[in-house]
């Protein structure tokens, strides 16, 4: 019985993922096609990068609710720079990344210096960015040739180099965003699991007071975590803009929940029971497979959030419920 419990904690989520793949492919054979698998990975890549950023803040026992709005704001900003201001892809990417750094810094400053709880700080930032992204275009999406407030039309276009990031495929199969996501996942894994910097972040998350007494520069690490989260959110926004080829005011609406779900489901991967990069990536894949499968078998859209939430609760019950019962 004890062996079964340990097995369930360590491999339960992966088994559930395999079961989903099997069930969806039986109901809809096209689900397992190469084309659909690449569609899943491409959509998952953006959410997974968000989840990796959230994981960095979870490692220090923080949380960032502003990642979705930071991604959406970065998407709109990069689109505005190219379409309205008529600058190139390099400037657009630089502006978007700068936004992530600034948002992360402000979040950390308010949390550390102003002593505002992280949930309240990042919730406020989320609403601020969601509103701010609408102001330059009076709430309209940004697209080539759009009408501006002065009656003229935007003359800029999305750079081919920029669109390459979201639409190109390696060997005409693997989307570039997937390559970027895998690269960032590996880097984040090595950073958190294999460096002293990452181990200190985990130590702060486990016991901040003890880490401070041991000489860790707690504030410095917290700033780093939130800035890293902001940068990853901006990268997600850049890839989203490059994929759809416009600054869509509604495209970032579900990014936060999917990113949070991926990061939290990651706790259940291989029984880690803590934030981890590989778990966040697999958690995002789990969410992507679930949503894609539900869509392909024509599940009503209004039930999908409920099912996603139910699966998240069950996954975390396996991780925390069984492990605490053992203790």
**pLDDT score at 136:** 86
**Which helix (H) or strand (E) is 174 found in, with range?**
strand 174-175
Cα–Cα dist 21/13, whole Å: 12
Cα–Cα dist 23/184, whole Å: 31
Between residues 227 and 321, the one the model is more confident about: 227
> Is residue 26 scored above 90 in pLDDT?
yes
259-263, 300-304, 312-316 — which is least confidently predicted?
312-316
* DSSP assignments along 220-254, one per residue: HHHHHHHHHHHHHHHHHHHHHHHHHTSB-TTTTTT
Model confidence pLDDT, tens digit, residues 236-263? 999 999 999 988 888 776 788 889 888 8
Between residues 314 and 104, the one the model is more confident about: 104
What is the chain's percent helix, strand, coil content, to nearest 5?
A: 75, 0, 20
> Is residue 61 scored above 90 in pLDDT?
yes
Query: What is the rounded average pLDDT for all residues in the chain?
Result: 88
- Report the candidate in 90, 235, 72, 247 with the shortest Cα–Cα distance to residue 160: 90
Domains present along the chain, CATH in parentheses: 33-324 (1.10.3470)
């Amino acid at each position: 019985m004890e062996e079964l419990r340990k097995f369930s904690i360590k491999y339960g989520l992966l088994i559930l993922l395999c079961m989903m793949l099997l069930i969806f492919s039986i109901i809809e054979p096209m689900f397992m096609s190469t084309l659909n698998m690449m569609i899943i990975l491409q959509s998952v890549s953006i959410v997974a990068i968000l989840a990796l950023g959230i994981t960095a803040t979870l490692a220090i026992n923080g949380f960032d609710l502003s990642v979705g709005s930071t991604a959406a704001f970065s998407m709109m900003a990069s689109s505005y720079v190219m379409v309205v201001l008529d600058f190139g892809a390099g400037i657009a990417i630089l502006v978007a990344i700068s936004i992530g750094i600034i948002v992360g810094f402000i979040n950390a400053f308010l949390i550390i210096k102003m002593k505002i709880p992280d949930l309240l700080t990042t919730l406020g930032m989320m609403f601020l960015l969601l509103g701010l992204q609408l102001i330059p275009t009076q709430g309209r999406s940004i697209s080539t040739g759009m009408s501006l407030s002065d009656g003229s039309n935007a003359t800029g276009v999305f750079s081919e180099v920029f669109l390459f990031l979201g639409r190109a495929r390696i060997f005409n199969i693997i989307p570039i965003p997937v390559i970027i996501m895998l690269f960032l996942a590996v880097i984040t894994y090595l950073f958190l699991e294999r460096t002293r910097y990452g181990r200190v972040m985990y130590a702060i998350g486990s016991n901040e007071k003890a880490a401070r007494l041991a000489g860790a520069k707690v504030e410095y690490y917290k700033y780093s975590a939130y800035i890293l989260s902001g940068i990853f959110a901006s990268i997600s926004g850049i890839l989203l803009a490059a994929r759809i080829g416009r600054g869509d005011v509604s495209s970032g609406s579900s990014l936060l929940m999917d990113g949070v779900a991926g990061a939290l489901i990651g706790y259940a991967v291989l029984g880690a029971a803590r934030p981890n990069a590989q778990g966040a990536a697999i958690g995002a894949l789990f969410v992507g497979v679930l949503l894609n499968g539900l869509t392909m078998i024509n599940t009503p859209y209004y039930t999908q959030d409920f099912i996603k939430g139910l699966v998240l609760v069950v996954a975390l019950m396996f991780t925390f419920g069984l492990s605490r019962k053992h203790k």
